[in-house]
Amino acid sequence: MATMAEPVGPMRPNIASADVQLPAIKTFEQVDEEIANTLKPTKAWFLGLMVAVGCMLLGASAWTFQVYAGLGNAGYVPPVMWGVYIITFVFWVGIGHAGTLISAILYLFRAGFRTTIYRASEAMTVFAVMTAGLFPIIHIGRPWKFFWLIPYPNWRLLWPNFKSPLVWDVFAISTYLTISTTFLYIGLIPDIAVIRDREKNPTRKFILSILSLGWKNTDREWRHFTRAYLFLAAFSTPLVLSVHSVVSFDFAMALTPGWHATIFPPYFVAGAIFSGFAMVWTILIPIRKWWKLEHYVTLNHLDATAKVVLFTSLVVGCAYLVEFWVAWYSGVKPEQDYFFNRVFGEWWWAAWIMLICNMVLPLSLFSQKLRRNTAWLFILSIFINIGMWFERFVIVVPSLSHEFEPWQWTTYVPSWIDMSFLVGSFGWFFMWFLLFIKQLPVMAIIEVKEIVPARRAAAGQGGHH
């Protein structure tokens, strides 16, 4: 897959082997043992799962109430008909970006630091997109009509408008969810086979046998697997960039002040990678600490991810400033008013949270000392995620509440239902993630083994004996 133990010919790209990247990992057996260890439940895991399920139930209760009492309870005030639901939808789609970026794009670029972090990131992607997918369904108010989103001839013989960004969204998100899930599962098959062959419980062994599809590590399987994995990565790479571009079209295709900008697709994609990497820290830093996997996700790996975060923060910060400049230079009054209001108007606090969390705090990553300080990275990841949620808030709410006509101007206060959904979405996401890490390997066993020097009989060739 990603790498090889030793270069064979000049045509084969290679990355540093484990004796350089992961010096504390010596044998294949050690890899199996230590990664399989993460499948044993701990008290912290049970506690985390209880909190996640509790939050999820709060969201589920709010949804039940909303279905019963109607969408009017959601805090919408015309013309602010996109509130927390759409903000949170865009937030979770953004979180879902880093996983495929790490697993596909960094795979094609042969970035060595992806080997031990990509599985958790891929799982994060799938669950984040699953979470995002709930919000359009919640937002339509009558969730049982969700299939109207799918293009098929309805009772009026009128198909959805394929020129609408909302229909593009349906295609983009459903393709992204399908391909991310497929990519995750295909990469997991050989690892499930490893777990299957270690399993003692007959029921679990049976389930794992089915999930592993009878995988046996034969040369035929590896040959076709590596090709398929490469092509899936090649497909996923433009998909990563397209999905958040399409999501940004939801805004950019509208004439609303603050939205109608050609900078939106690259700005959204950079923001998505930025927030996604922050969420990778939020989940991986505790995992490496709790399961003592510091020698797998090393400080060098975290340092490399911090550089990506710093770079994307600079891109996002530049986009924020360019937006202000374009508004001034355009000479369009509503556009200028919107951007003035963004930082000095009713929602000034949201905009400043966004600017401080996304532009100012990440500048600390210019310091190598802080890039290698896991406590700081964890704290920063929380700030970045807060900042990125507020970025979407700043895009959605001030624009809609302050459109062209002054008589339309209004305010927006999220209701308890909105906030319950927001909390519930975190509960839903973490519930799935915690269940995942207890059932399936959170690191790619096969890819780690690929960089561990193989056992050799010939003296002086390295490897383990």
Partner 1 sequence: MPGLVANFRELDRTVSAVKELQRRKLGNLTVYSPTIHHELEDAIEAPPSPVRRFTLIGGLCGVTMGYWMAIWTSDYWPLVVGGKAVASWIPYTIIGFEMMVMVGALSTVFGMFITSRIPKLVVDVAFDPRYTNGDYGIFVDCPPEKEKDAEGLFRQHGATEVRHAR
Q: How many CA atoms lie within 13 A of 322 on its CB side?
A: 12
The pair of structure tokens assigned to 447 is: 């890819």
Tell me whether residue 4 or residue 71 sits nearer to partner 1 (CB atom). 4
Site residues for partner 1, window 26-85 (CB under 8 A)?
27-29, 32
Interface residue with partner 1, options 46, 109, 148, 231 (CB under 8 A) = 231
If binding is defined by CB under 8 A, does position 179 make contact with partner 1?
Answer: yes
- Compute the least distance from the CB of residue 432 to partner 1, in Å: 22
The pair of structure tokens assigned to 29 is: 């057996």
For the chain, the first-to-last Cα distance in angstroms comes to 24
Q: Measured over all CA atoms, what is the biggest interatomic distance in the chain, rounded to whole angstroms?
A: 84
- Compute the least distance from the CB of residue 265 to partner 1, in Å: 12
- Compute the least distance from the CB of residue 81 to partner 1, in Å: 22
If binding is defined by CB under 8 A, does position 463 make contact with partner 1?
Answer: yes
Site residues for partner 1, window 119-158 (CB under 8 A)?
151, 153, 157-158
If binding is defined by CB under 8 A, does position 352 make contact with partner 1?
Answer: no
- Compute the least distance from the CB of residue 277 to partner 1, in Å: 23
CA 446 to CA 188: how far, in whole Å? 9
DSSP 3-state of 161: coil
Q: Characterise 213 by phi-psi region: left (phi > 0), alpha (psi -120 to 50), beta (else).
A: left
Q: Give the x-and-dash track for 157-176 against partner 1 (CB under 8 A).
A: xxx-xxx---xx--xx-xx-
Tell me whether residue 172 or residue 353 sits nearer to partner 1 (CB atom). 172
CA 462 to CA 239: how far, in whole Å? 40
- Compute the least distance from the CB of residue 309 to partner 1, in Å: 27
Site residues for partner 1, window 187-216 (CB under 8 A)?
189-190, 193-194, 196-198, 213-216
- Compute the least distance from the CB of residue 245 to partner 1, in Å: 9
Task: Tell me which residue has tokens 């090393």.
Answer: 298
b/e burial code for range 52-83 (CB count within 10 A of at least 16 → b)? bbebbebbbebbeebeeeebeebbbeebbebb
CA 353 to CA 397: how far, in whole Å? 15
Tell me whether residue 7 or residue 70 sits nearer to partner 1 (CB atom). 7
- Compute the least distance from the CB of residue 331 to partner 1, in Å: 27
Binding span for partner 1 by CB under 8 A among 114-122, 271-279, 309-317, 447-455: 447-455
Q: How many CA atoms lie within 13 A of 105 on its CB side?
A: 14
Tell me whether residue 96 or residue 387 sits nearer to partner 1 (CB atom). 96
b/e burial code for range 340-367 (CB count within 10 A of at least 16 → b)? ebbbeeebeebbebbbebbbebbebbee
If binding is defined by CB under 8 A, does position 435 make contact with partner 1?
Answer: no
If binding is defined by CB under 8 A, does position 217 make contact with partner 1?
Answer: yes
If binding is defined by CB under 8 A, does position 349 make contact with partner 1?
Answer: no
Number of residues that bind partner 1 (CB under 8 A): 71
Backbone φ and ψ of 77, nearest 5° = -130, 115
| Nearest Cα to Cα of residue 398 among 355, 353, 337, 356 | 337
Tell me whether residue 4 or residue 58 sits nearer to partner 1 (CB atom). 4
| Nearest Cα to Cα of residue 411 among 129, 79, 15, 42 | 79
Tell me whether residue 31 or residue 55 sits nearer to partner 1 (CB atom). 31
Tell me whether residue 12 or residue 333 sits nearer to partner 1 (CB atom). 12
CA 216 to CA 226: how far, in whole Å? 15
Tell me whether residue 23 or residue 151 sits nearer to partner 1 (CB atom). 151
If binding is defined by CB under 8 A, does position 239 make contact with partner 1?
Answer: yes
- Compute the least distance from the CB of residue 4 to partner 1, in Å: 5
Amino acid at the residue 149: L
Tell me whether residue 183 or residue 433 sits nearer to partner 1 (CB atom). 183
Q: Give the x-and-dash track for 8-27 against partner 1 (CB under 8 A).
A: x---x--------------x
Tell me whether residue 100 or residue 312 sits nearer to partner 1 (CB atom). 100
